[in-house]
Amino acid sequence: MTRPRSPRLAARILGCAATFTLLVLLALWLAGPAAAADRADPGVVEAVQIDVGPAVLAYERARLAAPRDAQLAEGLAALRRDAGLAPPETSLLERWAGRLSLDEWAWLGLGALLVLAVFTLGRGIAPAFPRLPRVAVVLLALVLLASGAGVGLGLASLDRAVLIDGDVALRISPFAAAETRTTLPAGSVVRVERAFADHVQVRTGDGRTGWAAAAQVVPVVPR
């Protein structure tokens, strides 16, 4: 007569399987383009035929939902190249976090937290509850930390905006008559720092700041 498999062993196997699944999902998300890369976005195509500023804005908004879409990335790069726009300067951490959408980072972290919580609470309620292997705990903690960093960087990037008009003047103060510090072409991506009346203070990727008319600066995330 065969002895039934121990529930403790089955639970440990389940915990290891959940950990492995989360790691595989993380690797797949970070490694390759999304499966929907062969689908064009009609709104993006239409915008490209109209104006550079709205076209860049449409691409940036589309990439929020599909950050690994190869077609979107190639289309945006080609648009910037044809318009003479330099790609926005981003740090290594920002490029790493950009491989997943904000929702994907949140779900990944939630999955790791759920596995840890089940085994931690189980041990607290019933001392006989199986213990999660130490390697699995370390890996889940790393996934949780990575997802937390990804969410944090993703939230920080929500203040990005696109200049939709050509030769947008960045002024030294939020008044139309103020001295112009520099000008930026349509399609430039900036970060909005604060607003005053009908002007917003923006910062470029290379650190330049100035006040621009709010009507010329459209947030990537609609507000």
Q: Does 76 have pLDDT greater than 90?
A: yes
Q: Does 62 have pLDDT greater than 80?
A: yes
Give me the CATH topology for the region 164-219: SH3 type barrels. (2.30.30)
3-state secondary structure the chain: CCCCCCHHHHHHHHHHHHHHHHHHHHHHHHHCCCHHHHCCCHHHHHHHCCCHHHHHHHHHHHHHHCCCCHHHHHHHHHHHHHHCCCCCCCCHHHHHHCCCCHHHHHHHHHHHHHHHHHHHHHHHHCCCCCCCCHHHHHHHHHHHHHHHHHHHHHHHHHHEEEECCCCEEEECCCCCCCCEEEEECCCCEEEEEEEECCEEEEECCCCCEEEEEHHHEEECCCC
Q: Does 6 have pLDDT greater than 70?
A: no
Q: Does 75 have pLDDT greater than 80?
A: yes
Lowest mean pLDDT among 26-30, 52-56, 66-70: 26-30
Lowest mean pLDDT among 45-54, 105-114, 118-127: 45-54
Q: Which pLDDT belongs to residue 101?
A: 86
Per domain, the residue ranges of the chain are 7-31+99-156, 35-87, 164-219
Q: Does 23 have pLDDT greater than 60?
A: yes
The percent of residues in the chain predicted with pLDDT above 70, rounded, is 78
Q: Does 123 have pLDDT greater than 80?
A: no
Whether 135 and 173 have beta carbons less than 8 Å apart is answered as no
Other Cβ atoms closer than 10 A to 59: 25
Residue 81 Cα to chain centre, angstroms: 23
Q: Does 126 have pLDDT greater than 50?
A: yes
Strongest mean pLDDT among 24-28, 117-121, 130-134, 203-207? 203-207
Segment 166-191, tens digit of pLDDT: 889 999 999 999 999 999 999 999 99
pTM as predicted: 0.70
Q: Which pLDDT belongs to residue 46?
A: 45
Q: Alpha carbon of 129 to those of 133, 139, 141: distances in Å?
A: 13, 20, 20
